[in-house]
Amino acid sequence: MSKEYGRYVRGGAPETKKFDINKPVVKARAFMLPIVWAYCNIRRAHHLEKIEKIRMKGLKPPYIMLCNHNSFYDFYVMMAAIAPFRAIHPAAVDDYIGREHLLRIAGTVPKRKYTADISLLRVARQALKENQIFGIYAEARYSLCGVTEVIPDAIGQLIKHHKVPVVVLNCKGHHIYDPFWGDHKKRFVTGLHTTMEQILTPDEIKEMTPDEITAKCREAMYNDDFRWQSENRVKMSYRKRAEGLHKVLYQCPSCMTEYKMNSKGTKIFCEHCGKSWTLNEYGELVADKGKTEFKFASDWYKWEREQVKKEVLAGTYRFESECHVNDLPNSKGYVRLGNGKIVHDMNGFHVTGIRDYDGKPFEMKIDSAGQYAVHVEYNYRFGQYKDCIDLNTLDDTWYVYPHADEFSVTKVSLATEEIFNEIWRKRKEEKAAASK
């Protein structure tokens, strides 16, 4: 491994062996389960976290369980909640780096984010046929700002097809403990709370359309950690609790300038106009001078989405930058492909470049109509501690590191979702008009 490439990134030609996505699912080893359950309950007890079960009396697998996703700590609570039963659930391919065997015998299956992978239908069928729990982190990534991210429409179709009970595990406070933007610095907090609720029975599913099922799931999974923290007066005394928040809140609501936000200690501030806000111990933002535009970071984040949506509706959104690309062929780690260029616009993603090891071109195109969301990383520790964009096809996973001085992967993420929404909104309108 060359130091210039960073941790877990190798130079040289990539290996031909790739993740075996279709490898048979391994049922979680029985001998491991007591150890796993004990460890997970210790972690949960450390935060004095309560798991409240609703409509769960007498319910046993098989069932589908939908979980919201704020941090890796979610997995510990999920395992504690389902005990003494076992689950099979998808996990992102980058989770397997250096620990593929361990994750497979724990009952996980590798999945490339935001790809239409029909192998998951086979996995779900197998898990439910074997009277297990099929668990899904439907957002397919950690929440960027502690508020529920995109839940795809396909969830309703999956549930309608299998006709088994549906349980939602909604974890509250995990983003406060380990925020995605927090540079992997955890904050000690107690009083976290999780609800485990059976939201649909087989009889209820029979009477509902897939769209109605999806809407029900979205309602049950919704969470806003900053608002929850404030309403429940969950105290966070960590002195650097705002550091990294500017990665999500990249646009100043006072002067409207993008990419000039920064943070330090308990404050987030704009380097262009000088306005600053303090993140208090209860997750509330307070302007140091003048108007407090948003009490909660999650509301600021939603406002940024509306700003991006305006660009999408006007057809003016575009991001272009020189970049370098790392490929993730298998669990041994990344291989540096080389330098290139990334373009993201109304058509989708287009990455081109020249491979380091043989001088030949590489290219990836992802159409915006088939990309309902994209995964991004802040200061990604398995690369070079830089922000990056994770692009996936059924065969490849590329981590793209833009070289631009001023940009935001958060904006790229929001734009991906809004472009997809606008494309399909127009298609539905055209279809409705044609049917008249």
Supply the pLDDT for residue 4.
45
Residue 176 pLDDT more than 70?
yes
pLDDT of residue 9: 67
What integer pLDDT is reported at residue 13 of this predicted model? 62
Per-residue pLDDT at 24: 77
Q: Are 214 and 155 in contact (CB under 8 A)?
A: yes
Amino acid at 336: R
Give the pLDDT confidence score for residue 55 in this predicted structure.
Answer: 97
Tokens linked to 115: 């790809």
Topology classification of domain 319-430: PH-domain like (2.30.29)
Question: How confident is the model over 326-382, as pLDDT tens digits?
Answer: 998 888 888 899 999 999 999 999 999 999 988 999 999 999 999 999 999 999 876
Of 284, 283, 253, give the one whose Cα is nearest residue 270: 253
Q: Tell me the three state secondary structure of residue 256.
A: coil
Q: Position of tokens 């929440």? A: 143
3-class DSSP state of 290: coil
Q: Cα 222 from chain centroid?
A: 14
The order of strands in the sheet holding 87-92 is 50-54, 193-200, 166-172, 63-67, 133-137, 87-92, 108-111
Mean pLDDT of the chain: 91
Beta-strand runs (E) in 237-332: 261-264, 267-270, 276-279, 285-287, 319-330
| pTM (predicted TM-score) | 0.92
> pLDDT above 70 covers what percent of the chain?
95
Q: Which of 402, 414, 424 is nearest to 343 (CA)?
A: 402
pLDDT given at position 435: 81
Beta partners for 64?
134, 166
Provide the pLDDT for residue 384.
63
Domain ranges of the chain: 32-86+132-231, 245-313, 319-430
Q: What angle do CA 173, 49, 96 make, to 5 degrees?
A: 70
Residue (of 159, 154, 190) closest to 173 by Cα position:
190
213 or 7: whose pLDDT is higher? 213
* Span of 25-39, 157-171, 205-219, 279-293 with lowest mean pLDDT: 25-39
224-251 average pLDDT score: 96
Q: What is the pLDDT of residues 285-327, one digit of tens each?
A: 999 999 999 999 999 999 999 999 999 999 999 999 999 999 9
CB 335 within 8 A of CB 350: no
Residues 436, 294: Cα–Cα separation, whole Å? 44
CA 329 – CA 19 distance, rounded (Å): 6
Question: What is the reported pLDDT for 184?
Answer: 78
* Lowest mean per-residue pLDDT among 6-10, 171-175, 243-247, 299-303: 6-10
DSSP for 11-52, please give it. Answer: -SSPPS----TTSPPPPPPTTTHHHHHHHHHHHHHHTT-EEE
